[in-house]
Amino acid sequence: MQRFKPVRQSRVSEAVIEQLKDSILTGYFKPGDKLPSERELSEQFQVSRVVVREALRKLEHAGFIVTRQGATGGAYVTELTFEYLVSAFLDLFLADKISIPELYQVRLLIEPEVARLAASNITPEFAQQLKEALEIEDLPVTTLPIDIDRKQRIHLIIAEMCGNHVFEALMRSLLGLTKKVVEAVNPDPDYVHPKGMHRAVVEAVVAGNSEAAAEAMKKHTIDFGENFIKMEKTYRERNSVLSF
Ligand SMILES: [Zn+2]
C-alpha cells in the first residue's frame, strides 16, 4: 500500500504565511493597510480559521503586522524594517541576552550625533513639529503607553530630521524596544521620564546649534538612562521572585 507522509498543520500555515509575506513585500499591501478579515482569508486560502489565526500570529511576531482590537480592529501592515528590528531586540531582551545598560550605552553614543545632524537640518516645518510635540508633553498623563508615545515623539522627529536612514532605523528600533521594556515594567511615567527633559534639546535643535544640540541630548540621555537602569533592576528582581 502507498504510504503518504503526514502533512503537518504547520506546513499549511507556512504556505499561508509565504503568500501573505509576498503580498506585503511586493507592496500589494502597504504599511498602514488592513489585511482582509480572518473569515475572508480562510475562504480565499481554503483553510480553517485556526490556520489563518496561526499564520497571522507568526506574521505579527515577525513584525510584519500588528493586530488591533475594537471596531476598527484587524491585522495592519507595519513599517517592516523598524518593527522587525524591534521584535528581534525585544526577544533578545526577554531572553536576557541584551540588557538595559547595553541599550543605554548605544543610545548614549548615537543620540547626541543624531541631534547634532538634526540641528543642521532644521526647517520651519520641523521647528513647528518639535514645538508642538513639546507642548503635548505637558498635557496631563493619561495612560503609560500614551505617555511613552508623547515622550518619544521628539526623539522620532529628531531621528527623521537627521537625514541618515540607518541612524533613523536604529533610533526607531531602540525607541521601540525602550517602549516595550517600559510597558513591561509598568513604572510611574513621571519617574522614568519626567516632563521638561526635552526643552533644552528642542531649543538647541530649533536654533540650529549643532554643538548645543549634541550636548543637550547627551545630558538628557544620561539622566533618562539612570532612571531606566534602575527600572530594569526592579523588573529582573520582580521576575526572579515570580519564578520561585
Ligand atoms: Zn526623551
pLDDT digits (tens, 9 = 90+) for 116-164: 999 999 999 999 999 999 999 988 888 888 889 999 999 999 999 999 9
Evaluate if residue 100 carries a pLDDT over 60.
yes
Distance 196 CA to ligand 1 centre (A): 9
Q: How far is the CA of 152 from the centre of ligand 1 (A)?
A: 6
* DSSP run (H or E) holding 46: none
Residue 209 C-alpha to ligand 1 middle, in angstroms?
A: 19
Q: Which amino acid makes up residue 53?
A: R
Question: Measured between alpha carbons, how far is residue 238 from residues 95, 181, 183, 234, 244 in Å?
Answer: 15, 14, 14, 6, 10
Cα 163 to middle of ligand 1, angstroms: 19
CA of 24 to the centre of ligand 1 (A): 32
Distance 75 CA to ligand 1 centre (A): 30
Ligand 1 midpoint to CA 150 (Å): 10
Q: 151 C-alpha to center of ligand 1: Å?
A: 6
Q: How many CB atoms lie within 10 A of CB 155?
A: 25
Query: 165 or 2, which is more confident?
Result: 165
Question: H/E element holding 238?
Answer: helix 210-242
4-44: pLDDT as tens digits: 776 676 688 899 999 999 998 888 998 889 999 999 999 99
244 has pLDDT over 50: no
pLDDT at 45 over 90: yes
156 C-alpha vs ligand 1 centroid, how far in Å? 10
CA of 224 to the centre of ligand 1 (A): 7
Q: Range with the lowest mean pLDDT among 68-77, 151-160, 234-243?
A: 234-243
How close is the Cα of 148 to the center of ligand 1, in Å? 9
* Contact yes or no for 88/51 (Cβ under 8 A): no
Residues 229 and 104 sit within 8 Å (Cβ to Cβ):
yes
What is the 198 CA–ligand 1 centroid distance (Å)?
A: 6
**Which among 59, 81, 67 has a CA at the least distance from the CA of 171?**
81
Contacts for 205 with CB less than 8 Å, ≥ 6 apart:
115, 118, 119, 122, 130, 158, 161, 213
Decide: 204 and 127 in contact? Cβ < 8 Å.
no
